Amino acid sequence: MPGHGSGTARRGGRFLTAAALFISALALLITAPGAASAASPQPDPVKPGEASMGVGVRMHEGGDSTGGSQPGALAASVHGVDVSGHQGNVGWSTLWSSGVKWAYVKATEGTSYTNEYFTQQYNGSYNVGMIRGAYHFALPDNSSGAAQAKYFTAHGGGWSKDGKTLPGVLDIEYNPYGSTCYGKSDSAMVSWIKDFTSTYKAQTGRDAVIYTTTDWWSQCTGNNGGFGNSNPLWVARYASSAGTLPKGWGFYTFWQYTSSGPTVGDHDLFNGAMDRLKALANG
């Protein structure tokens, strides 16, 4: 029966066409970048221990558009760098000759990581004449603030009044391993930071410097204004100015202005002349 056969063929053709379209659409859904990222979380951008000062800034606030150029507005400032194990053995003489006069070196992260290049970096900067200090990359979801402050001071984060050692830094920024605010509420994050800073002061006699960005601080502490009177601010912003500061601070002490500078990436400015930097070192 020709009519019946033709109808079956047409229905079969429509079925095959619909099936082909469904398969094609499914393939596009699986391979489309937007769909894939929505369906599953992105993998960790760094391995445990590899976080360095500013890693979260670059992830969440975009790349560095400065090209490493130095801001021209601050004549009375002292240039510095911050380094971690990522830089390996650093060419300190080259940096010193280029005008860099101070450095901060990553000492610890959480309560289980120490920088394997710490000795070369911390002592090397000192030996060429720089004023130097150490920093701790905070993992507030890992352990208490007190535990991390003690781990920091026990592994390079201490302080001595030798005129060449700066107070330790709490690097508290976007979580490079997961949830931006480490799964903490604003009040819980503020409590964690207080736990760290009060313990660090009890251990060393110095108020820790707080490194952060205005955006992260607003998101994760509710823009808390309770640290500005005690803890110097190190603000991160890769631009021609430091911009709006977190609540509680009327000025910054350090500014990380680029992650693409010469010799090592992260370059910074101290907000003052060399005599004020020495005063900070001496407490």
- What integer pLDDT is reported at residue 76 of this predicted model? 61
First to last CA, the chain: 101
Given the residues 64, 171, 207, 266, the one annotated as active site: 171
Q: Do 200 and 170 touch, CB atoms closer than 8 A? A: yes
Q: Mark the ranges of the chain whose per-residue pLDDT is less than 50.
A: 1-44
Q: Residue 236: which H helix or E strand, with range? A: strand 233-236
Looking at 61, 64, 109, 173, which residue is catalytic?
A: 173
| 7, 38, 129 from 180: Cα distances, Å | 59, 17, 38
Q: What does the pLDDT read at residue 16?
A: 37
- Does 82 qualify as catalytic in the annotation? yes
171 is catalytic: yes
The residue from 61, 64, 82, 109 that is catalytic is 82
Which residues is 83 bridged to in the sheet? 105
Can you give the pTM of this predicted structure? 0.81
